[in-house]
Amino acid sequence: MEENYTLVERILKELSSPKELNKRQISLFLKPEVLEQLDNLLKEFNNYSQKVASRNYLIEIAIENLIQTFPKVLEEYNKKYREEVTETLEFDTVVYPSYSGGLETLIKEHKWYYVRINKENIEKIKYIALYLGYPDSCITHYAIVDKYKEEIIDGKRKYSVYIKGDIIPLDQPVVLGSTNPVGMRSPKYTTLAKLKSATEVVDLN
């Protein structure tokens, strides 16, 4: 309901705004019935608005709202499904999502910041690894966990992970392979044995 309310507020704001529209060009395919509904909505919008809107303009509003809402969807998905999965898995390792240069931070500070983990899983985690995002799209090293330290960031409980010694290179990188990149935006639980033998991310399951 909260996301729908946000979209309603956005549309109300657009209706009352007298500013000129910036014209933009987009290309996409819509089903005939969807296009018909969009045109009907557009007529109603322009009946109430102080400006003349286009199809593209309404689509832009919807896309921007989706972009703002999607992180919340992923968060709820992870709470509902991913953390439940850990209850039935044997694991001693967690792979955290990282930006491409994340290894340099881990090497320099012996610490990885503000991770999400259930408190009851902390004692099970002996090793961490970083999935390096585009353009690397792979896992190349792991590290031994020293401790998790709890911190409150923006009112939410998160943890920093401190490591022992240097990071350890894998014999072979674990590439993304057939896995959807979206699936690597959340922590992934596995075992060190699987991480060492894996050639692509799906092998960590």
**pLDDT at residue 173 is higher than 60:** yes
Taking the C-alpha atoms of residue 66 and residue 77, their distance in angstroms, rounded to an integer, is 15
Residue 111 and residue 173 in one domain:
yes
Residue 129 and residue 77 in one domain:
no
Using the 3D structure, point to which of 44, 63, 85 is the last residue of a domain.
85
Residue 104 and residue 126 in one domain:
yes
Max CA-CA distance within the chain? 67
Using the 3D structure, point to which of 54, 85, 116 is the last residue of a domain.
85
Per-residue pLDDT tens digits for 129-148:
999 998 999 999 999 999 99
Residue 125 and residue 73 in one domain:
no
Per-residue pLDDT tens digits for 65-74:
888 887 777 6
The domain spanning residue 187 has which CATH number? 3.10.590
pLDDT of amino acid 182: 83
Using the 3D structure, point to which of 25, 54, 85 is the last residue of a domain.
85
Domain count, the chain: 2
**Strand segments (E) across 81-137:** 93-98, 111-115, 127-132
Residue 73 and residue 115 in one domain:
no
Residue 102 and residue 193 in one domain:
yes
The answer to whether the predicted template modeling score (pTM) of the entire model surpasses 0.75 is no
Distances (CA, A) of 123 to 49, 103, 127, 146, 156: 58, 24, 11, 11, 21
**pLDDT at residue 4 is higher than 70:** no
Taking the C-alpha atoms of residue 98 and residue 112, their distance in angstroms, rounded to an integer, is 10
Least confident piece of the model among 10-14, 26-30, 160-164, 201-205: 10-14
pLDDT of amino acid 156: 80
Residue 30 and residue 75 in one domain:
yes
**Strand segments (E) across the chain:** 93-98, 111-115, 127-132, 138-153, 156-175, 188-190
For 156, the 3-state DSSP assignment is: strand
Task: Choose among 181, 93, 166: nearest CA to 130.
Answer: 93
154: alpha, beta or left? (left if phi > 0; alpha if psi -120 to 50): left
Q: Average pLDDT in the 151-170 region?
A: 90
Residue 176 and residue 114 in one domain:
yes
Residue 97 and residue 68 in one domain:
no
Domain that holds residue 45: 2-85
pLDDT of amino acid 62: 84
